[in-house]
């Protein structure tokens, strides 16, 4: 039993280093190419279920796979990226410049902070990790593809490793990457592959 966590392809906001959150941004030209290459890689897997965030960038990535597999996709709002509220559409440099006092005080490092009126990091970690475990419980003996976002995958990894929020900075999750979590016979979840982008490199993407 394996659960494949797939980050969506590139968007123009990824390229510009803008915060997306729940803002519904489409894949870029490169992102669509990444999704196509990813689909050709995944089509050889034996898969029993496919889930996707309902945001366009993830769903468009999933659709590229569906065209080759004819698998039904379950659109799932709970697989969305963290809700960044008023920060969405801005770069981190803009946020720091506009909010020097809060940033200087370390408030942004507080995992319970919601100064941007979106989700706190702790709220997000709880949502992402609990929902992933609910999918695992629903598919205890299946191979499952989950098209989602970088933040979600990091939070799931943090939960499995029993790490604090700050450790997320040590977890690279690139666009169109694949992270694989396997379930043992005893029911233990284990990360066997993280941030695999070898399929993109072979196409110079």
What are the pLDDT digits (tens) for 10-37?
999 999 999 999 999 999 999 999 999 9
What are the pLDDT digits (tens) for 122-153?
999 999 999 999 999 999 999 999 999 999 99
**Whole domain around residue 44: which residue ranges?**
2-201
Q: Give me the pLDDT at residue 170, please.
A: 93
Question: How many domains does the chain divide into?
Answer: 1
Mean of all residue pLDDT scores within the chain = 93
The end-to-end CA distance of the chain, in Å, is 29
Q: Is 169 noted as a catalytic residue in this protein? A: no
Q: Give me the pLDDT at residue 68, please.
A: 96
Catalytic hit among 10, 36, 81, 119: 81
Q: Give me the pLDDT at residue 107, please.
A: 55
- 92 band by pLDDT with thresholds 50, 70 and 90: confident
- 106 band by pLDDT with thresholds 50, 70 and 90: low
Q: Give me the pLDDT at residue 102, please.
A: 65
d(CA 176, CA 162) in angstroms, rounded, equals 25
In the predicted model, is pLDDT for residue 99 greater than 70? yes
144-178 as b/e: b if 16+ CB within 10 A: bbbbbbbbbbbbbbbbbeeeebeebeebebebbbb
Q: Give me the pLDDT at residue 114, please.
A: 84
In the predicted model, is pLDDT for residue 100 greater than 80? no
Q: Give me the pLDDT at residue 136, please.
A: 97
**What average pLDDT score do residues 170-180 get?**
97
Token pair 């996707």 in the structure block, residue: 52
Percent of the chain with pLDDT over 90: 79
In the predicted model, is pLDDT for residue 111 greater than 60? yes
Look up the pTM and report it.
0.95
Q: Is 8 noted as a catalytic residue in this protein? A: yes
CATH number, domain at 110? 3.40.50.1240
Least confident of 106-110, 116-120, 155-159: 106-110
Catalytic hit among 8, 83, 131, 199: 8
**What average pLDDT score do residues 154-169 get?**
94
Residue of 131, 178, 135 whose CA lies nearest to 155: 131
Question: How many residues are recorded in the chain?
Answer: 205
């Amino acid at each position: 039993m394996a659960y494949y966590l797939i980050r969506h392809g590139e968007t123009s906001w990824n390229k510009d280093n803008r915060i997306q959150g729940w803002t519904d941004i489409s894949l870029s030209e490169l992102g669509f190419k990444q999704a196509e290459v990813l689909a050709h890689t995944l089509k050889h897997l034996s898969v029993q279920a496919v889930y996707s965030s309902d945001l366009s960038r993830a769903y468009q990535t999933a659709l590229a796979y569906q065209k080759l597999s004819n698998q039904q996709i379950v659109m799932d709002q709970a697989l969305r990226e963290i809700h960044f509220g008023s920060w969405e559409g801005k770069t981190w440099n803009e946020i720091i410049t506009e909010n020097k006092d809060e940033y200087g005080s370390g408030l942004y490092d507080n995992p319970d902070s919601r100064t941007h009126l979106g989700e706190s990091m702790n709220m997000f970690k709880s949502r992402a990790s609990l929902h992933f475990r609910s999918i695992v419980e629903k598919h205890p003996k299946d191979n499952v593809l989950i098209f989602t976002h970088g933040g979600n995958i990091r939070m799931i990894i943090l939960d499995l490793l029993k790490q604090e929020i700050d450790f997320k900075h040590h977890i690279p999750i690139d666009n169109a990457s694949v992270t694989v979590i396997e379930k043992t016979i005893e029911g233990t979840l284990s990360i066997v592959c993280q941030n695999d982008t070898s399929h993109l490199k072979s196409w110079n993407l």
